[in-house]
A = this chain, B = another copy of it.
Amino acid sequence: MNVPVKTPVSETSWLEAVAWDAQGLVPVITQEAASGEILMLAWMNREALSLTVAEGRAIYWSRSRNRLWRKGEASGHVQWVKEIRLDCDNDVVLLKVEQISGIACHTGRKSCFFQRLESGVWQAVDPVLKAPEDIYR
């Protein structure tokens, strides 16, 4: 009689559960844990998500620069991860973070979603908290 062998859970099985797209990426929504404000949307590959979990800080895959992007590496605006969630289709990740300095956007605003549609026009409605030339120098 063949006794089924219990397969050990792979250390990376949670990574394999993610429904990576054809480019091996998944969109990641980043939300400020304390306020609930949505800060940005970026992308991760397996390595980025694995490193994010291992280091406890947001590490994305930059599609424009085609390399890992440790959020805050240039600006100091690191995102410390408080919680990681996955949606019902396993194809979107949600990070709840503490945003160092309270600035996520490269424009110097808190959130990247600072343009609001008003009477058919996108209006920048949130203040610049720090000038980009003072962030990146």
**Chain A residues within CB distance 8 Å of chain B:** 9, 11, 13-14, 17, 27, 29, 31, 35-38, 40-41, 53, 83-90, 92, 94, 105-107, 109, 112-117, 120-122
25 interchain pairs, CB-CB under 8 A? A9-B120, A11-B120, A14-B120, A14-B122, A17-B122, A36-B36, A36-B37, A38-B94, A41-B87, A41-B92, A83-B116, A83-B117, A84-B116, A85-B113, A85-B115, A86-B113, A86-B115, A86-B117, A86-B122, A87-B112, A88-B105, A88-B109, A88-B115, A89-B112, A92-B112
- Residues on B with C-beta less than 8 A from A87 are 40-41, 112-113, 115
**Oligomer: number of copies:** 2
CB distance from A62 to the nearest CB of B (A): 12
Compute how far the CA of A40 lies from the CA of B89 in the bound complex, rounded to whole angstroms.
10
Distance (Å) between the CB of A14 and the closest chain B CB? Answer: 5
6 nearest A-B residue pairs (beta carbon) = A36-B36, A87-B112, A85-B113, A84-B117, A86-B115, A41-B92
